Amino acid sequence: MDSAVSDLLPADESEETLQPWQRDKTRAPIATKIVVAGGFGVGKTTLVTTVSEITPLQTEALMTQASEETDDLTETPDKTTTTVAMDFGRITLDDDLVLYLFGTPGQQRFWFMWDDLVRGAIGAVVLADTRRLSDCFPALDYFESCGLPYVVAVNHFDGSTKFEPDDVREALTVPPQIPVIVMDARMRVSAVETLLALVGHALDVTPE
């Protein structure tokens, strides 16, 4: 097995479980980069962790009293860590399509990293929490301004009210051509469907 490939695999992954492009060195996978963005505590790390076929790279740091004045934990009182750089994962779709996922930090003080994380991406998933929809406006404005294709994924939390996609679209004034999806970042099937929706939308917008 190629050492570069083996370095990306979990220690318990065998040759039989490899993807076709990993077994056949003559087959080059189509590698694409996707960004997962949104407000603080909206589920970006959860989504990347749920779908990643490798052990995800995380830059989680313990939250301290220094952030009490800036990080609102009203709706997420059990949150004890936060992403301070990025999350990174990988998922293979349709044999030869490999998605590399980059989760952005949510707090405003880390937004300066977004330009680097977004460079080379085909699109973005903007996660939203219906209990605090305004938190995703910065991400929506950012991707609209840079012209990167994106979808809005409403991450359903236990105890939160479920809303129809059209209601969320109206509340966020999302253009009609942008897909709005209700999903659960903890459920692999739901998260993968969201990524597929983004890939399809990106192909429609920028087929090249």
Please, what is the angle between helix 44-51 and helix 188-205, to 10°?
A: 100
Q: In this predicted structure, what is the pLDDT of residue 173?
A: 95
Structure tokens at 34: 């996707």
Alpha-carbon span 154 to 165, nearest angstrom: 8
Ramachandran area for residue 60 (φ above 0: left; ψ -120 to 50: alpha; else beta) = beta
Position 63 confidence tier, pLDDT thresholds 50, 70, 90 = very low
Q: In this predicted structure, what is the pLDDT of residue 34?
A: 95
Pick the residue with more confidence: 59 or 45? 45
Q: List the Cα angle 186/54/76 in 5-degree steps.
A: 30
- Going from the N-terminus, what domains does the chain have, and what CATH number goes with each? 27-61+81-203 (3.40.50.300)
Q: What is the mean pLDDT of the chain?
A: 78
pLDDT in tens, 83-138: 444 788 999 987 778 999 998 885 565 566 778 888 999 999 999 999 889 989 99
Residue 38 has pLDDT above 80, yes or no: yes
Alpha-carbon span 74 to 119, nearest angstrom: 33
- pTM above threshold 0.85: no
